[in-house]
Amino acid sequence: TTMTWLLLLILLPVVGLVMYFVFGENLRKKNSKKIQKMKDALLKADDTRAAYDLVYQIEEQKKWLDSEASDAFFNRDDKQAIRLLLNSGNTPVTMGNDLKIFEEGISKFEKLLEDISKAEKHIHMEYYIIKDDNMGNRLREALIERARAGVKIKILYDPIGCYPLLITRRHFFGSMRAEGIEIFAFMQDKRLYYRNINYRNHRKIAIIDGKVGYLGGINIGDEYVHEDPRFGFWRDTHLRFEGNAVVMLQMVFLQDWYHRTGRSEFRKSYFHVFEEPKGPTTVQIVASGTDSEHPTIYQSFFYNITHAQQSVYIQSPYFVPDEALLMALKSAVLSGVDVKIMFPGIPDHFTVYHASQSYLSEIAELGAKVYIYKKGFIHSKVMMVDHEFASVGTANMDVRSFKINAEINALIYDDETLCHLYDMFDRDLRNCELLDPDVYLKKTIRRRFVEGACRLFSPIL
């Protein structure tokens, strides 16, 4: 990253200086005091035991993982992976969850609207993209109906992801605010707005009454339900939870709400107590961003790739790893691990797409199998390792997701859900074309130049 900035400043000093002013600041370091202040607010909340219970659960879970009692639930590598994220991200593993997997946007959106229509107390939503189109307006109308019924609603949106909406936001957001719905742009500080542009809230989560939670790759817009002719069929992965994983989703949202508004609202009424298991799924919710001490999602990916014994399967619309993660994947390939990467055949961002092509060709030459998705556009963000671990969420396989954006993933450890995800991957392979490494070796000089130039700026894409 340092070399990229230096080269840009040398070649284009004026442009480079402006770009560094906008994109170069390390907000994780800058926010260290704010992170501690947020934790203090969490632990000193007057009207809830939720924060204290969470800390107690983390400490108890660390002891439990060290005991033989946990051997019946997790193998040694899984326990190490869980312990890593307990220590770096304060994220306990939750058991007894019911989980539903959506493979495309229509089914997810209809179920979300159904859950919203049943809300009785509160709805919390946080999305990177919300559009003023058919899907966006159906959501807006559903939320207004619930607000009129007395349901308290909070929404966080990303000002860059929702940039097209800003033209009509007075009508779109104004009509909701008029009904008492609280809406804020995440990290939008007017005094430092342009210094925050590079740091985006890429999360896509919803929590209804503290009982039902959603996370995954599907935003709010017509393209996510196959209505954009440029992309056609939109393949994605999104999750719906019932169970203790929802408690962790709620905690992430309320931390983000505090980070944006300065208001501590860790209320007991927001955290539903699940007396009985809702299902068989074991889940660890992991969030990372400038408001977290460590890049926890990146650490999870790195750990699981470097400990892979049999297979690593990846679906991502972007593939721009840093040198450490690229070396981990190369080492896995060279050690005999079956590495498969599924990537879209349709570009949606020119620079990132061509930078990704450069990295994919490099790893394909070593023996990784790269599959190009042909049915439409694949936006799914999934990684599976050794039929023992899966990650599903908002994080792409790129530097931006791992070290810049606010992201959230669900780490899954139970056999039933893993089998479902592997079956989905196998079905997707039927709509893919295996990339021939020899084709990459015959690239034109022009294509090599374009990919090399795009790759040069990959640390700041």
> What tens digit of pLDDT does each residue of 185-215 get?
987 444 445 556 678 899 999 999 999 999 9
Name the DSSP letter for residue 46: T
182 and 306 in a single domain? The answer is no
In a domain, 305, yes or no: yes
- What pLDDT, on a 0 to 100 scale, did the predictor assign at position 139? 98
Count of domains observed in the chain: 3
Classify residue 194 by burial, with Cβ atoms within 10 Å: 0-12, 13-18, 19+.
exposed
Name the DSSP letter for residue 435: -
In a domain, 274, yes or no: yes
Phi, psi for residue 141 in degrees, rounded to 5: -65, -40
Give the contacts of 324 (CB within 8 A, at least 6 positions apart).
Answer: 302
263 and 305 in a single domain? The answer is no
261 and 376 in a single domain? The answer is no
In a domain, 101, yes or no: yes
- What pLDDT, on a 0 to 100 scale, did the predictor assign at position 160? 87
The helix or strand, by DSSP H or E, that contains position 212, with its residue range, turns out to be strand 212-216
* CA pair distance 361, 338, nearest whole angstrom: 16
Question: What is the per-residue pLDDT across 209-247, written as a single tens digit (0 to 9) for each?
Answer: 999 999 999 999 999 999 999 999 999 999 999 999 999
Low-confidence ranges of the chain (pLDDT < 50): 188-192
In a domain, 128, yes or no: yes
- What pLDDT, on a 0 to 100 scale, did the predictor assign at position 460? 59
309 and 252 in a single domain? The answer is no
- What pLDDT, on a 0 to 100 scale, did the predictor assign at position 431? 98
Give the active site residues: 202, 204, 209, 379, 381, 386
Give the residue carrying structure tokens 């349901």. Answer: 151
Q: Is 314 helix (H, G, I), strand (E, B) or coil?
A: strand
- What pLDDT, on a 0 to 100 scale, did the predictor assign at position 41? 61
- What pLDDT, on a 0 to 100 scale, did the predictor assign at position 34? 62
- What pLDDT, on a 0 to 100 scale, did the predictor assign at position 349? 86
HEC readout, 123-180 = EEEEECCECCCHHHHHHHHHHHHHHHCCCEEEEEECCCCCHHHHHCHHHHHHHHHCCC
Give the residue carrying structure tokens 């996510």. Answer: 224
Domain carrying residue 15:
1-30
- What pLDDT, on a 0 to 100 scale, did the predictor assign at position 188? 46
Amino acid identity, position 101: I
Residue 297 near residue 409, CB atoms below 8 Å: yes
Residue 312 near residue 335, CB atoms below 8 Å: no
251 and 339 in a single domain? The answer is no
Q: What is the CATH number of the domain that holds 396?
A: 3.30.870.10
361 and 239 in a single domain? The answer is no
